[in-house]
A and B are shown apart, each in its own frame.
Chain A
Amino acid sequence: MDKELFTVSVFSENTVGLMSQVTIIFTRRCINIESICASECSIPGVHKWTITAWSTREVMEKVVKQIEKCVDVIRAFLLTDDDIVYQEVALYKVSTALLIDEPHLESIIRTHGARIIDVTREFTVIEKTGHYRETQALFEELKRYDIRQFVRSGRVTVTKSNREYVSEYIEEQKIRAERQKKS
């Protein structure tokens, strides 16, 4: 079966060691993680991670259930590009001399909607946010000159849903907690 790029959105408690517990679920099934990004989300205390990986839907559905099985994971969701708005950021370092000597570079930066975020006598750092395709396109163009360094972040995503996917679940859990206390 053909592999697709899946995005897994994991909501968890902020527990030490959870990252390795989750990544090993991929490793056990020989799935290479493309990128992983984590930060606190709009719900205080809840961390959201975005993991991307190439695999099949059948396998990824099982992976997501196994992630959810971790005690400190609140929920995990399997998403495709249709469900989400996502972004990546890339940094490109070129020599400042090159920028001065090559007049084309200015228009390349301009047409790609990139921006310069740091300049010293020796080097200049250019930043571009966008989808992989877009940051890669700028990379290809700059490569024709000379790129000293290049880095691209993992994907960050928000879903097209109204609130965090996990909000409703957390509300339900509060009710469960109340019920538990009474009984």
Chain B
Amino acid sequence: MSEMISGAEGLIKSLLSEGVDMVFGYPGGAIISVYDKLFDYQDKIRHILVRHEQGAIHAAQGYARITGRPGVVIVTSGPGAANVVTGLSDALMDSTPLVVISGQVASAFLGTDAFQETDVVAMTQQITKWAIQIRRPEDIPDAVARAFYIASTGRPGPVVLDIAKDAQIGMMEWQHKTCDYIRSYNPMPHVDSADVLEVAELLNNAKHPLILSGHGVAISNAEEELLQIAQTADIPVAATLLGLSTINSDVPQYKGMLGMHGNIGPNIATNKADVILALGMRFDDRVTGDAKKYALAPKIIHVDIDPSELNKNIKVFKAINADAKSFLSSLALFIKPNKHDEWNKLFEQCDKVEYDEVIMPEVHPNSGKMKMGEVVNAVTKAAGKGAVCVTDVGQNQMFASRYFKYSAPKSFISSGGLGTMGFGLPAAIGASMGAPDRTICLFVGDGGLQMTIQELGTIMEHGAKVKIVLLNNNFLGNVRQWQTLFFHSRYSQTHMLNPDFVALAAAYAIPGEDVTSREDLPAAIDRMLSHDGTYLLNVDIDASDMIFPMIPAGGTVDNIMLNENKKFSL
């Protein structure tokens, strides 16, 4: 018989056997026993003490997105658990594996409105892949094994383990438990070879094929297979927001980003293609615009690991429930070499218009205040190969996603489905913790930065290395843009009186500088990149700058605004 240990210690041993060596968290009364045991295991598990639980969960998301392994979060009951709700919702939308452990009042007090009791399972059921309460210490090893299995397999997602105090304190006989099978859960659909052959045939015969690469390609590590197919058959590839960096920016077959602020070529091509292969993406309304009028001509083949995404937002010609990597590696065997010069001309034409009308004035302006696009462009050039782009939400996110150059897989981290302001800084911290050797560039607005700015304290204490590029327009820029375009320039509650950000960073022992003129930008970027640690660039941005091209919400993908007054046409 093995020796008896507490549930709290059992939890830590189970985390260790899942390979966990880093957790993000914040202590409190209902989780104090676990923290007490963590004290004994400091050499094996590094605990990153954040400044707010929202910071913990977004950091864990950043960590999970860059490593592909579940991020682990530990919080207390009631307010601690409530503070991770935004992150759970974000992680579910963006298929991010997380295991969130929350303390809970002792089981005798459940349902009595005890101090710091909230019904965490009920509260999180709709925003997690799985949420359970544990009331007995002996249930911990099984629950942890299941949690990691569920979080990381199939379509990944967040899992909550709500552990009552008595289960943490009570004694148990710990056993190593693993989980690779649950009767009611079948995460790895079988790839049907008939489907593969049919799709190969469709693609081989297509005159105007188009691949839409989504987050699923990154999650399943199918970047190489994608590249091979795209290059062999010369098939243009467009990426969704979270599909960015599934194919390098300099690959000729890569044609840019889809969606509301995506590149013109891919959006226009959506309606002109004859066959579309959509991989690990979900036809979100920011990609489709008016779903009823989306891509009516092409035969769409939709491959996704989550069957509930198939035929959900749009009806497709062929729906295939499969893991992107398994599917693509089979498909690659049947793809014939091909050339699509004629079809590629469409992208060249679109690119030319986009370059002249949108990119040129954004990236190389010669007068006026600085623009977000030119800053992102300067940073990405200086940061070089392998750099990671983390964004917050708003104009900063769209400019960063559009103008950053991706030269390695897993190089883009952003809150896509939920669009959570405040995601950027903590996610960048987590990414830096997960990949300390990569250059992590964060692009963030003055609004979003202040939503989780307390995490500068986490950086100070734990030494994450984040290149913080604050695109500061003293406005909630994205909302301001909509007010300009659709609400008669009535800037209701979008102007912000901001603090001295560089002084604020300095208070946290983080160096930084204000950049107010274009001439100073390159040298400032060099100082930021060559500093060994976090550095803040507070860049003074033209508040009237707007992100274009733009497909207005609910519009069709070929109805593209080039600027306030001009529509795209070929």
In the complex the two chains form, what is the Cα distance from A135 to B122 in whole Å?
36
Residues from chain A with Cβ under 8 Å of B307 in the complex? 65, 68-69
Q: Are A69 and B308 in contact (CB under 8 A)?
A: yes
Closest to A181 in B: B181
CB within 8 A of A74: which of B121, B132, B183? B183
Complex: how many Å from CA A170 to CA B182? Answer: 11
Could you say which residues of chain B place their CB within 8 Å of the CB of A61?
A: 311
Interface residues on chain A, number (Cβ under 8 Å): 25
Question: In the complex, what residues of B have CB within 8 A of residue A181's CB?
Answer: 181
Query: How does the 8 Å CB contact mask read for A5-35 relative to B, with 1 for contact and 0 for none?
Result: 0000000110111001100100010000000
- CB <8 Å contact, A71 and B182: yes
Using A21-B126, A71-B150 as known contacts, say yes or no to A62 and B312 having CB atoms under 8 A apart. Answer: yes
B123 nearest CB across to chain A (Å): 11
Q: Are the C-beta atoms of B184 and A73 separated by less than 8 Å?
A: yes
Q: Which listed segment binds B: A85-93, A119-127, A139-147, A172-180?
A: A172-180
Q: Distance in Å from the Cβ of A6 to the closest Cβ of chain B?
A: 17
Q: Which residues of A contact B183 (CB under 8 A)?
A: 13, 74, 170, 173, 177
- Is A66 in the interface zone, CB < 8 Å from B? yes
Q: How far is the CB of B558 from chain A (nearest CB, A)?
A: 26
With CB as the reference atom, state the residue of chain A lying closest to B307.
Answer: A65
Give B163 Cβ to nearest chain A Cβ, in Å.
Answer: 15
The CA-CA distance from A157 to B486 in the complex, in Å, is 53
CB neighbours (8 Å) of A16 from chain B are: 133
Interface residues on B, range: 20 to 34
Please, which residue of chain B has its CB at the minimum distance from the CB of A11? B184
Complexed CA–CA distance, A150 and B504 (Å): 69
* Cα(A13)–Cα(B132), bound, Å: 14
- A62-B308, A65-B308, A71-B150 given; A17·B184 CB < 8 A: no
Q: How far is the CA of A24 from the CA of B133 in the complex (A)?
A: 19
Contact partners of B122 in chain A: CB under 8 A: 17, 20
A105 to B454, CA, bound (A): 76
User: Chain A contacts of B125 at CB under 8 A?
Assistant: 17, 20-21, 24
**B174-227, CB < 8 A from A:** 180-186
How distant is the Cα of A180 from the Cα of B188 in the complex, in angstroms?
Answer: 12
**Min distance, Cβ B551 to any Cβ of chain A, angstroms:** 25
* Min distance, Cβ B283 to any Cβ of chain A, angstroms: 13
Does the CB pair A72–B184 fall under 8 Å?
yes
Cα distance A71–B92 in the bound complex, in angstroms: 14
B286-320 CB mask vs A (1 if < 8 Å, else 0) is 00000000000000000000111011100000000
Q: Are the CB atoms of B181 and A24 closer together than 8 Å?
A: no
Partner of B184, one of A21, A28, A65, A74: A74
Would you call B130 an interface residue if the criterion is a C-beta within 8 Å of the partner chain's C-beta atoms? yes
A132 to B110, CA, bound (A): 40
* Nearest CB of chain B from residue A43's CB, rounded to whole Å: 11
Q: Mark A80-98, 1 if CB is under 8 A from B, else 0.
A: 0000000000000000000
Cα–Cα distance between A13 and B183 once the two chains are bound (Å): 9
**Closest CB of chain B to A58's CB: distance in Å?**
9
In the complex, are the beta carbons of A69 and B306 less than 8 A apart?
yes
The 10 A-B residue pairs with the shortest CB-CB distance, nearest first, are A65-B308, A74-B184, A71-B130, A180-B181, A69-B308, A177-B181, A71-B185, A21-B125, A66-B308, A173-B183
Given contacts A21-B125, A62-B311, A170-B183, 12 further A-B contacts (CB under 8 A): A13-B184, A16-B133, A17-B122, A17-B132, A20-B125, A21-B126, A65-B307, A71-B130, A71-B182, A71-B184, A74-B183, A176-B186
